[in-house]
Amino acid sequence: MSPTYDVIVIGLGGMGSAAAHHLSARGARVLGLEKFGPVHNRGSSHGGSRITRQSYFEDSAYVPLLLRAYELYDDLERATGRDIATLCGGVMLGLPDSRTVAGSLSSAREWDLPHEMLDAKEIRRRFPTLAPKDDEVALYERRAGFLRPENTVAAHLQLATQQGADLHFDEPMSRWEPYRDGVRVHTAENTYTAGQLVFCPGAWAPQLLADLRVPLSIERQVMYWFQPKRGTDPVLPAHHPVYIWENRAGVHVYGFPAIDGPDGGAKVAFFHKGEVTTPETIDRTVHEDEIRAMADHLSGCVPDLPGTLLKGVTCMFSNTADEHFVIARHPAHPESVTVACGFSGHGFKFVPVVGEILADLALTGATRHPIGLFDPARLIDTVLPH
């Protein structure tokens, strides 16, 4: 049996890599186990970019965590020299009473976040690539922008390794059980013991955390990169913000500038419009009818974009019934197991602060951060919406 660790982290994607970093930074002896290789593209922490923002329409309770995440992203860039966050500005668009607009405005006002409200005419003037209808408005947030997920994961893995963490790739956990005052974890290669276990399983949560009794739906998502019709200059970050756009039917599309220059195209995606899947059965082919549906949608709101499709890539959302996270000590194993799952397609911007929270919970059993919204008790044995 291998040496005893203080903490074993299962999954080294976004949340797990951050947890391994924060735990090892505090002097904990950390083992990280990952099913695939480092910075892989089989789960949810890939695709070149993720939106970050502070005027959070999902719930204003997220804002303190976002403010801390921004600080930690700055720390991560300084510590590793990697390109992590670019604040090119962002707009939340829709009708004035839409969740996207009204919720963003409510959070901005509650937390006194800098923002501007723009009518359709002003949106078109500032951002000529966007074509809102006359009755649509936007909340503009200067400190919104995009994160680079692969660089973020690589940076956290780099720091964790430098701090002494043992990170094992291509070594999935097969099972675990309580053992003495901690846990014992089995893989095909070895058996490990530790005082604490931290689960960051992403789309594999339904299998690995079945005893949590929190229903999770794994949703296939498609990301598209289009070459603009008029060339790339209009959608470079200097001219084109990140955006989340809710139409009258409640359909969300979100997008980015051409963050990698003229040949990279501009990335767009629908939000929560995919079919239920599993990590083992997901269809990773992007089909022609999907491409047409996205191009048709864009033609009415970002008419420069439905030009040539450069590529399409799939990923997965792990959705809870209310689309809020699960971050807590495991109710059935509160002395030794911490869980983080169900990030419902909007979790990546929280990666560094979730890592900090998981380190708190694993090492002390509590955290100063407000995580009451993420208590799994609210979801136990609930029924997922169809």
Closest CA to 57 of 49, 45, 66, 47: 66
What is the C-alpha separation between 268 and 255, in angstroms, rounded?
A: 4
Residue 376 and residue 331 in contact, taking contact as beta carbons nearer than 8 Å: yes
Is 268 annotated as belonging to a binding site?
no
Is 276 annotated as belonging to a binding site?
no
Please report the DSSP string for 250-282 in residue order. Answer: S-EEEE---TT-TTT-EEEEEES---B--TTT-
Is 13 annotated as belonging to a binding site?
yes
Please report the DSSP string for 148-191 in residue order. Answer: -HHHHHHHHHHHHHHTT-EEE-S--EEEEEEETTEEEEEESS-E
Residue 55 and residue 115 in contact, taking contact as beta carbons nearer than 8 Å: yes
Is 20 annotated as belonging to a binding site?
yes
Is 81 annotated as belonging to a binding site?
no
Is 383 annotated as belonging to a binding site?
no
Is 213 annotated as belonging to a binding site?
no
Is 271 annotated as belonging to a binding site?
no
Is 32 annotated as belonging to a binding site?
yes
Is 11 annotated as belonging to a binding site?
yes
Token pair in block for residue 380 = 């136990």
Is 27 annotated as belonging to a binding site?
yes
Is 337 annotated as belonging to a binding site?
no
Is 30 annotated as belonging to a binding site?
yes
Q: How many residues does the chain have?
A: 386
Strands 90-94 and 242-246: parallel
Is 34 annotated as belonging to a binding site?
yes
Is 272 annotated as belonging to a binding site?
no
Is 174 annotated as belonging to a binding site?
no
Is 9 annotated as belonging to a binding site?
yes
Is 148 annotated as belonging to a binding site?
no
Is 26 annotated as belonging to a binding site?
yes
- List the Cα angle 250/221/10 in 5-degree steps: 120
Is 118 annotated as belonging to a binding site?
no
Is 269 annotated as belonging to a binding site?
no
Is 18 annotated as belonging to a binding site?
yes
Is 17 annotated as belonging to a binding site?
yes
What is the C-alpha separation between 361 and 382, in angstroms, rounded?
A: 25
- Cα 299 to the chain's mean position, in Å? 27
CA trace torsion 38, 329, 337, 79 (10° rounding): 30
Is 368 annotated as belonging to a binding site?
no
Token pair in block for residue 8 = 């074993």
Beta bridge partners of 266: 226
Is 36 annotated as belonging to a binding site?
yes
Residue-wise over 314-345: b if at least 16 C-beta within 10 A, else e?
bbbbbbbbebbbbbbbbbebeebbbbbbbbbb
Q: What are phi and psi of 220, to 5 degrees?
A: -75, 130
Q: Name the binding residues.
A: 6-36
Q: Name the binding residues for FAD.
A: 6-36
